[in-house]
Amino acid sequence: MRKFLDGVYRVFGKLAEVGSDKYLHMFVGLVVSMLSCKALHALGCLLIFALIPAFIVMVAKESVDKYYRKEPFDWLDVSAGVLGAIVGVFLFLL
């Protein structure tokens, strides 16, 4: 039991190290992919294409950060958004 609890604490410790910005990117990616899945399902297309709009939105957001807010382009934010999009596709399939 002690090893299990130590493992749980390690997992939550790693999650706590991730910046809250990444969670917001994941949420936006999830929402964009769910909306895209709804539209693609109505059109009878493959749901994997729902990852494309999420990727475009994430890259556009990071580009705005880089060129207008003078912040560095962060590929980890883009990957967090795409991860949220993947979760959104799987949730839509449920």
Q: Give the global pTM.
A: 0.75
In degrees and rounded to multiples of 5, residue 68 shows phi and psi of -105, -40
Tokens of 1: 């039991």
Q: How far, CA to CA in Å, does 17 sit from each of 11, 27, 79? A: 10, 18, 16
Query: What is the arithmetic mean of pLDDT over 44-55?
Result: 87
59 has pLDDT over 90: yes
pLDDT of residue 15: 60
The set of residues, in sequence order, having a beta carbon less than 8 Å from that of 50 and lying 6+ positions away, is: 32, 33, 34, 36, 37, 40, 85, 88, 89, 92
**Domain boundaries, position 73:** 19-93
What is the pLDDT averaged over residues 28-55? 88
Q: Is residue 36 part of a domain?
A: yes
In a domain? residue 33:
yes
Residue 51 lies in a domain: yes
pLDDT band at 86 (very low <50, low <70, confident <90, very high): very high
**Distance separating alpha carbons of residues 29 and 70, to the nearest angstrom:** 23
Give the chain's domain count.
1
Closest CA to 76 of 64, 91, 62, 90: 62
